Structure 1
Amino acid sequence: MFMDYLKELECKMSHDYLMKDKSVTSTLVQGPIIVGAGPSGLAAAACLKQKGIPSLILERANCLASMWQLKTYDRLKLHLPKQFCQLPLMPFPKGLPSYPTKQQFLSYLKAYADHFDINPLFGKQVVNAEFDVVCGNWRVKTQEIMKKGQENNIIEYVCKWLIVASGENAEEVVPQIEGMEQFQGPILHTSLYKSGSMFCGKNVLVVGCGNSGMEVCLDLSNHNAHPSLVVRDTVHILPQQIFGKSTFGLSMWLLKWFSVHFVDQFLLLMSDLMLGDTSQFGIQRPKIGPLEFKNLYGKTPVLDVGTVAQIKSGNIKVCKGIKRLVHNAVEFVDGKVENFDAIILATGYRSNVPSWLKGSDMFSEKDGFPKKPFPNGWKGEKGLYAVGFTKRGLLGSSIDAKRIAEDIEKLAGKLLSPTHLQE
């Protein structure tokens, strides 16, 4: 059925329309274009493939899941159990641990792409995507970085549906701190951090107390470095497991029977019993519970994998916010000054959608996320979709991918109706 629609579309689209910009090569795409070959983009392509709908993934990097492959540290494991991280239509292979390693997850993604015969076009950075009201299709321009001395190759792809899967973590957030240019040691974002082995015996300041910052501190400590952690805001820290069960999974089960407030109180009680009072080490909790805080502000609680014990033992120091950097020293807002050999910025990532998606009000210019909150942020207008922007990890991506495939299948059916084809 869908291929019949594509034949009809090709008949209607003239050569002149495809060649609107004579300096740019234009290509008509059979099915949706998906921007991004991370887990979310793969999930969307697989769900479409199951329904007989072809798609084309455009990926700026030269590999699948470039965030996981190129910008994560060596010791990384999934923070949630594998059953909450598998993509639609294909579970993890048997025998993997509950929390697969980075390499095990990448192997799973490769097998997933092979199983569904998903072949992204790599090295295609989308620089502009805009809806053409004349013929009711999306024009997606990509820039291919050529070898030195060659001009960049611009190719335009034309499609009926556009799926944004570039992710919540497309670009690194690098804060501007007074005196950064004076600091004599290296300052690197966690996207460049691989292992604490290169910092053995050094004083290292980690800025940011999310899951990455906490785990990098633990990794540094395990490699005999001397890490300090900047904790500027309040943060919820929960044990990764409670009673031998995943804290996340247990929370989801409890929410079927009890209110968010009740489950929050349970999580805080267990955190006190298992991790102790972190305020005595300079880590304050928000006044509202972890689940409610997540729902209101989108901030995920930290799942402790051993960092708190290292803080308690004194192997990891907790510091206030930074006021300025001077040569090899850091001055904190409480007036303390300490020397450091290196600074690691665990300051997160942001969406880059507003930089290339034009003429749509689906995404916020401020943060690059869909304006409608979960579970309604997956669908925009004029054939525009979003997958992987739920702030609910891979589970949220799977939910989005299934809905998008179902919706496009329905729309394709309507486009093939006798009334529409006669227009």
Structure 2
Amino acid sequence: MPESPAASPSSQATVWPAVIVGAGPAGLAAAACLKRRGVNALLLEREPNLAATWRRHSDTLQLHTDKAHSALPYLHFPATTGRYPSRDQVVVYLETYARRLRLSPQFGTEVRRVVREEGGVWRVQTNRGEYRARHLVLATGNAATPVMPEWPGLEQFVGTVMHSSRWRSGLAFRGAQVLVIGAGNSGHEIALALQRCGAKVTWSVRGPVNVIPRDPLGLPLLSVALALDWLPARLRDALTFPLRWWLCRDLPRHGLRLLPFGPFQQIEQTGRVPIIDTGIVCAVLSGAVRVVGDVAGFGARQVKLASGETLDIDAVILATGYRPAAPYTRALAATADVHACGYRVAATGMLHAIAGEARQIAALIARQERLTRLSPP
């Protein structure tokens, strides 16, 4: 999609009903829902194109949630898409979504500061000018800026060190000794991809985890999560325990410790998604992927573990997560009159949660806009 033109100076002097920061899935969904309710929103995106974060993901990435439960409002995934859409299919879907719903993000516009004026109007300062709006929707997401931990001796390591944000495939690592650091879904998927490409893989997992099947009893995981969503997390974990036990019962003997509570409580208590198994359990149990504990430091070609063991390593992949893109995001997200979309970690899946949040935000803003129009000057 070509870059949209910058808003005119006259539009920058006016007060928009809403400004949406971020044109990823959350921003697009919020803009579409507002448009359906007759609310004109300015959609700002710092990158030069749509789906920039998705384009940077690895070649082998697939959604963990099935397409039937991952579509944004008003547009389903194509029937030809498999149950779990690939990275490229998600990118095409988001481009199609913006085109079909006639959304026009203003690309190359980075929000640098947001100030609340007297009278409740937001002043949004960007690299391309200043905009004012009655409503502010934050949709930049939690996975924008890579987290790069530091360890003693890391600067001495002569092998490859790469954050998962730069990861594309394991083909370049065939035959190499590779350490993957990080117990999230990115970490286990990269470890599995490396092993399948012929690398000798060690996976550093610092603490205990939960592992759940992607297709329990042949059903998409999200179907099960939605069916149980009305129950307390503790009861959901109790009901699904036999299935998890069957999958994970031998993992502790292979170095992968399990949390003392289940995945639903994990999401509620820590805001972290459990590991969704796409083959890593078999790889760990077979010894194809070796699990070790925390990293303590580095040498020239070695990695020192907290256990005292030393590994000879050629490359390190840091699946160590992300933080929000803008420094103002966390503070503003806690403000009562700011609408945040796409930050909540939910057992029902991020895209499914975004669709619901976008509808709720649009309904609230549209209602407040109607009240503003009806209020006497």
Which of the five TM-score ranges fits, normalised by the shorter chain?
Answer: over 0.9
User: Secondary structure at 1:399's aligned position in 2?
Assistant: helix
For structure 1, the residue ranges without an aligned partner over 5 or more in a row are 1-17, 20-24, 144-153, 358-362, 372-378
Query: Using the alignment, how far apart are the partners of 1:136 and 1:80 within structure 2?
Result: 39
Q: Pick closer, same or farther for the CA change 1:414–1:272 going to 2, 3 Å.
A: same
Return the offset for 1:180: 1.2
Corresponding residue for residue 63 of structure 2: 78
Q: For the Cα contact (< 8 Å) 1:239–1:304, is it kept in 2?
A: yes
The Cα offsets for residues 46-101 of structure 1, whole Å up to 9 and x where unpaired, read as: 0011112121111111111211112x111000101112211012111223211111
Max Rg structure: 1
User: In the aligned structure 2, how far is the partner of 1:262 from the partner of 1:385?
Assistant: 31
Separation in 1, partners of 2:21, 2:361: 14
Residue 104 of structure 2 is matched in structure 1 by 119
Instruction: Name the counterpart of 2:38.
Output: 52
Counterpart position of 1:293: 266
Corresponding position: 1:356 with 2:331:
no
Higher relative contact order (CA 8 A, sep 6+): 2
TM-score when scaled to structure 2?
0.92
Amino acid of the residue matched to residue 189 of structure 2?
E
| Structure 1 residue identity aligned to 2:300 | H
Q: Give the Cα separation in 2 of the matches to 1:416 and 1:254.
A: 42
The one-letter code matched in structure 1 to 2:46 is R
Residue of 314, 330, 343 corresponding to 1:389: 343
| CA–CA distance in structure 1, aligned partners of residues 30 and 75 of structure 2 | 13
Tell me the SS of whatever aligns to 2:209. Answer: coil
Alignment match, 2:18: 32
Partner residue, 1:380: 336
SS at match of 2:82: coil
Question: Retained in 2: the 8 A contact 1:46–1:118?
Answer: yes
Give the 5 Å matches for 1:263-412: 263-353=236-326, 355-356=327-328, 363-364=330-331, 370-371=333-334, 380-381=336-337, 384-392=338-346, 393-412=350-369
Say whether residues 1:137 and 2:121 are aligned partners: yes
Structure-1 separation of matches of 2:186 and 2:339: 29
Give the conservation status (yes or no) of the 8 Å contact 1:206–1:344.
yes
Does the CA contact (< 8 Å) of 1:26 and 1:158 recur in 2?
Answer: yes
Q: Once the 2 structures are TM-superposed, how far is the Cα of residue 410 of structure 1 from its aligned partner?
A: 0.9
Identity of paired residues, percent? 32
Q: Secondary structure at the match of 2:112?
A: strand
Greater shift, 52-61 or 230-239, is seen at 52-61
- What is the TM-score when the length of structure 1 is the normalising length? 0.83
How far is 1:107 from its partner? 1.0
Q: CA RMSD in A?
A: 1.9
The 2-side partners of 1:209 and 1:311 are apart by 13
> In structure 1, which of residues 226, 230, 251 is the aligned counterpart of residue 225 of structure 2?
251
Q: Which runs of 5 or more residues in structure 2 are unaligned?
A: 1-8
In structure 2, the CA distance between the partners of 1:310 and 1:262, relative to structure 1 (3 Å rule), is: same
- Which amino acid is 2:84 matched to? Y
CA distance in 1, matches of 2:211, 2:263: 9
Question: Is it true that 1:213 corresponds to 2:171 in the alignment?
Answer: no
- 181-190 or 275-284, larger mean C-alpha shift: 275-284
Q: Which amino acid aligns with 1:57?
A: L
Deviation at 1:352, TM superposition (A): 3.5
Deviation at 1:310, TM superposition (A): 1.1
Letter in 2 for 1:387: C
For the 8 Å contact 1:239–1:275, the answer to whether it is kept is no
State the distance in 2 between where 1:231 and 1:412 align. Answer: 49
Listed one character per residue, the Cα deviations across residues 155-184 of structure 1 (whole Å, up to 9, x for unaligned) are 111111111001111211111111111110
How far apart, in 1, do the equivalents of 2:233 and 2:371 lie? 41
Secondary structure of the equivalent of 2:140? coil
| Residue matched to 1:98 | 83
Change in Cα spacing, 1:264 to 1:414, as seen in structure 2 (3 Å) is: same
Structure 1 letter corresponding to 2:353 = G
Looking at structure 2, the residues matched to 73 and 170 of structure 1 have their Cα atoms a distance apart, in angstroms, of 15
Greater mean alpha carbon deviation, residues 328-337 or residues 393-402? 393-402
Question: Which residue of 161, 175, 196 corresponds with 2:170?
Answer: 196
